[in-house]
Amino acid sequence: MVDPAARMSELRDLLHFHGYRYYVLSSPLITDAEYDALYNELVELEKAHPDLITPDSPTQRSGNDLSEEFAKVRHVAPILSLANGYSVEDVRAWEERTLKLLPSGTILSYTLEPKLDGLTVVLTYENGVLVQAATRGNGEVGDDVTPNIRTIRTVPLRIPAHANGMTAPERLVVRGEVMYLKRDFEALNARQIEAGLPPFINARNAASGALKQKDSRITASRPLTAYVYQVVASSGIMLDKQWDMLEYLGNMGFLIAPGAAYYPTLEQIEAEIPKWEANRDALDYEIDGVVIKVNDLRIAAELGVVGKDPRGALAYKFPAREGSTKLLRAVFTVGRTGRVIPNAQLEPVFIGGITVSNATLHNFDYVKALDVRVGDTVVVKRMGDVIPNVVGVIAGARTGSETAITPPEHCPYCDTRIVHPEDAVDYYCPNVRCPERVYRQVEFFVSRGALDIDGLGAQTVKTLIEKGFISDEADLFDLAEKRDQLLELEGFAEKKVDKLLTGIQAAKERPLARVITALGIEGVGSTIAADLAVHFGSLDAIQNASAEELNEVEGIGEVLAGGIRAWFDDPFHSGIVGKLRERGVNMQGAPRERAGDSLEGKTFVLTGTLPTLTREQATDLIESHGGKVVSSVSKKTSFVLMGDSPGSKAEKAAKLSVPILSEADFRALLGIE
């Protein structure tokens, strides 16, 4: 059993050291999440042993984001923090503790809100006009960042933002969170990398940087978003429920914490939490947990505060998605187009529930912008199922023995000299017969979005290539003649082989758009493939089209048109197309059965995931009613059909005033159930 006094002293030392590295030297050795873990451990020990709290404990100094360069603002009420919970047990214990402090028989109900991962701002409105905006600072005094906050379009400069019959109180002080939407953050980092600058490690750091600009024109160029979730002080608002308050704030024109909801019982909250966690990646914004709040604000006020944390609310924190570890080696993968992708092999690190030992470094521009080297301690971020990312380097941990990551001179799979086309970001293995390229291409050819051949997983593809059964994707269609030899392969039982051969046979009949997609031409995804299929009607016509003719298809620019032309001109590719043709793969666009012509002359753009229809089904419906699906939004687009997690197309549609339809609207338009 560790002596708590000794551990507490050790934690204080560690926190002082890492705090100094972070705040004074701006050269941290550990991630924010690791720092928080140490901090939380100390908080817990101090709760258990209040007599061992020392005045120099880092917990005795509340967070401070004060900067000498800004005027100071004294907050009208302390800007509090939140106690954390990490499990259902913590949530139940919190309710139990709360109920014990209240008259017996009290029944509590709650709001559940996302815990937005940004920076607190405190906004003061006088007679409906924004007069001041401040950071949290140390909770008592913050930095005056009014000019910067004014640049944020989601912060109303006047409330109510729309004349709606409501009047603003004489004074209203609200609290909210300033942050980057994920897509804005990604765009920002893409610009940083393009300019050869290091990308920001995470959206929160980037938002903090934007908010602390002395020149608000710089803040204005950074598209921040602000959500509001609390009233700090007000004159004359009679609402006494958090849920009513959120509704009120929404009516005043604030963007309120999206997805916030009222629940009469804690059981319901418990059922909702895993949904938030599972859905975390699909949201437009980063959350690091959810916040449970006692709905009755009078009760919440009575419950009071312990330390800096109001008793009437609890932050349920999700596991951190970031960790730091050592980059042991750089390895290079080669994709189907020959593109070389640098990857980091890592000392295994446990992040958010899984062990991570590989992460992508994207491309060599990214490597250069990050200045990441072998031997570095790196920050790794993991999101959902995607490959983890190296997002930053802890430069302070360098010893001098780190070595640069440079593109390989030869392909690690076929030893061909790697090429770097002028003006291209990427490096390529130019050998179209490179076994790794063939493997990746065949894997893509048979995948769900392409020819969707049943029974052909990655391992089977690998075996078929290794054993010499296929040397390109067209060879798949010769396998039927080699049934006996296939049966001799280890793990290729009769049932499996027959399933495979049936699947391959069936794939010959796939619609033209899918065949085009499966070819794997760079830049030709399923939407462009469908556009090509509709426009030209057959693969022969596409193959014979000039770059100018290809350029006539909506959504195909000059560069892509040239790329498609060059692809067909490559003898290796035209050879494959020839083989596919000989083996009876469909090369004709089927004349469509017409279900009606109500969409005649209308063009649609699809974005996001629709609740029930797949992309293909929606396209089919549109086309069978005489409409057209194109890949990018322009003023000429008739409708944007939008599902969940839409991309930038939705934004563009809004900008160009193109009507946006949900699946339900779309069904109504076609008069289908």
Catalytic positions, written as ranges: 115
Cα–Cα distance for residue pair 38/252, rounded to 1 Å: 40
Q: Residue 619 is inside which H or E element, if any? A: helix 615-624
Torsion of CA 175, 176, 178, 179, to 10 degrees: 160
The answer to whether residue 273 forms part of the interface with ligand IVH (CB under 6 A) is no
Report in angstroms how near the CB of residue 16 gets to ligand IVH at its nearest: 22
The residues in 613-652 that bind ligand IVH, with binding defined as CB under 6 A, are none
Span from 80-88, 97-105, 520-528, 657-665 in contact with ligand IVH (CB under 6 A): 80-88
CA dihedral for 580, 583, 589, 592, sign (positive or negative): negative
Report in angstroms the alpha-carbon separations of 35 from 11, 32, 390.
10, 5, 19
The residues in 192-231 that bind ligand IVH, with binding defined as CB under 6 A, are 229-230
Residues pairing with 389 in the sheet = 360, 381
Span from 86-94, 310-318, 356-364, 529-537 in contact with ligand IVH (CB under 6 A): 310-318
End-to-end Cα spacing for the chain? 66
The answer to whether residue 151 forms part of the interface with ligand IVH (CB under 6 A) is no
Q: Of these, 12, 18, 21, 115, which contacts ligand IVH (CB under 6 A)?
A: 115
Span from 74-82, 470-478, 509-517, 616-624 in contact with ligand IVH (CB under 6 A): 74-82
Provide the 3-class DSSP secondary structure of residue 494. helix
Report in angstroms how near the CB of residue 310 gets to ligand IVH at its nearest: 5
The answer to whether residue 269 forms part of the interface with ligand IVH (CB under 6 A) is no
The answer to whether residue 85 forms part of the interface with ligand IVH (CB under 6 A) is no
Report in angstroms how near the CB of residue 348 gets to ligand IVH at its nearest: 30
- In the bound state with ligand IVH, the residue whose beta carbon lies nearer, of 176 and 555, is 176
The answer to whether residue 137 forms part of the interface with ligand IVH (CB under 6 A) is no
The answer to whether residue 242 forms part of the interface with ligand IVH (CB under 6 A) is no
Size of the site for ligand IVH (CB under 6 A): 15
- In the bound state with ligand IVH, the residue whose beta carbon lies nearer, of 227 and 477, is 227
Contact yes or no for 282/114 (Cβ under 8 A) = no
Question: Helix 435-445 crosses helix 512-519 at what angle (to 10 degrees)?
Answer: 160
Report in angstroms how near the CB of residue 554 gets to ligand IVH at its nearest: 42
Contact yes or no for 278/269 (Cβ under 8 A) = no
Cα–Cα distance for residue pair 242/233, rounded to 1 Å: 13
The answer to whether residue 442 forms part of the interface with ligand IVH (CB under 6 A) is no
Within 8 A by CB and 6+ apart from 392, the residues are 198, 199, 201, 370, 378, 379
The structure tokens listed for 108 are 């509590």
Span from 77-85, 505-513, 519-527, 614-622 in contact with ligand IVH (CB under 6 A): 77-85
The answer to whether residue 402 forms part of the interface with ligand IVH (CB under 6 A) is no
Contact yes or no for 169/234 (Cβ under 8 A) = yes
- In the bound state with ligand IVH, the residue whose beta carbon lies nearer, of 202 and 619, is 202
Edge-to-edge, what's the strand order for the sheet holding 83-85? 83-85, 313-317, 287-294, 110-116, 261-263
Q: Of these, 34, 46, 143, 177, which contacts ligand IVH (CB under 6 A)?
A: 177
Q: Of these, 310, 335, 589, 608, which contacts ligand IVH (CB under 6 A)?
A: 310
Cα–Cα distance for residue pair 528/606, rounded to 1 Å: 12
- In the bound state with ligand IVH, the residue whose beta carbon lies nearer, of 246 and 327, is 246
Report in angstroms how near the CB of residue 281 gets to ligand IVH at its nearest: 18
Residue entry with tokens 């308050």? 245
Span from 79-87, 245-253, 479-487, 516-524 in contact with ligand IVH (CB under 6 A): 79-87
Q: Of these, 45, 82, 327, 340, which contacts ligand IVH (CB under 6 A)?
A: 82
- In the bound state with ligand IVH, the residue whose beta carbon lies nearer, of 142 and 388, is 142
The answer to whether residue 178 forms part of the interface with ligand IVH (CB under 6 A) is no
Site string for ligand IVH, 317-356 (x = CB under 6 A): ----------------------------------------
Cα–Cα distance for residue pair 410/413, rounded to 1 Å: 9
- In the bound state with ligand IVH, the residue whose beta carbon lies nearer, of 226 and 359, is 226
Span from 43-51, 248-256, 309-317, 525-533 in contact with ligand IVH (CB under 6 A): 309-317
The structure tokens listed for 511 are 């619609």
Query: Which of 437, 212, 200, 247 is CA-nearest to residue 333?
Result: 437
- In the bound state with ligand IVH, the residue whose beta carbon lies nearer, of 116 and 618, is 116
Q: Are strands 313-317 and 309-310 parallel, antiparallel or unpaired?
A: unpaired
Q: Of these, 81, 135, 295, 325, which contacts ligand IVH (CB under 6 A)?
A: 81
Contact yes or no for 662/609 (Cβ under 8 A) = no
Contact yes or no for 130/253 (Cβ under 8 A) = no
Report in angstroms how near the CB of residue 81 gets to ligand IVH at its nearest: 5
Cα–Cα distance for residue pair 389/185, rounded to 1 Å: 15
The answer to whether residue 296 forms part of the interface with ligand IVH (CB under 6 A) is no
Q: Of these, 133, 291, 340, 585, which contacts ligand IVH (CB under 6 A)?
A: 291
- In the bound state with ligand IVH, the residue whose beta carbon lies nearer, of 137 and 310, is 310
Cα–Cα distance for residue pair 53/43, rounded to 1 Å: 10
The answer to whether residue 286 forms part of the interface with ligand IVH (CB under 6 A) is no
The residues in 1-40 that bind ligand IVH, with binding defined as CB under 6 A, are none
Amino acid type, 7: R
Cα–Cα distance for residue pair 85/293, rounded to 1 Å: 13
- In the bound state with ligand IVH, the residue whose beta carbon lies nearer, of 155 and 315, is 315
Q: Are strands 309-310 and 110-116 parallel, antiparallel or unpaired?
A: unpaired
Q: Of these, 315, 474, 528, 556, which contacts ligand IVH (CB under 6 A)?
A: 315
CA angle 294, 300, 302 (to 5 degrees): 150
Cα–Cα distance for residue pair 243/261, rounded to 1 Å: 7
The answer to whether residue 295 forms part of the interface with ligand IVH (CB under 6 A) is no
Q: Are strands 403-404 and 377-381 parallel, antiparallel or unpaired?
A: unpaired
- In the bound state with ligand IVH, the residue whose beta carbon lies nearer, of 113 and 443, is 113
Q: Is 551 exposed, middle or buried (0-12, 13-18, 19+ CB in 10 A)?
A: middle
Q: Of these, 31, 57, 109, 120, which contacts ligand IVH (CB under 6 A)?
A: 120
The answer to whether residue 376 forms part of the interface with ligand IVH (CB under 6 A) is no
Report in angstroms how near the CB of residue 115 gets to ligand IVH at its nearest: 4
Cα–Cα distance for residue pair 208/118, rounded to 1 Å: 8
The answer to whether residue 113 forms part of the interface with ligand IVH (CB under 6 A) is yes
Span from 307-315, 339-347, 349-357, 445-453 in contact with ligand IVH (CB under 6 A): 307-315
Q: Of these, 45, 80, 149, 529, which contacts ligand IVH (CB under 6 A)?
A: 80
The structure tokens listed for 369 are 């912008």
Query: Which of 195, 256, 264 is CA-nearest to residue 229?
Result: 256
Query: Which of 499, 500, 505 is CA-nearest to residue 464?
Result: 500
Binding region for ligand IVH (CB under 6 A) = 80-82, 113, 115-116, 120, 177, 229-230, 257, 291, 310, 313, 315
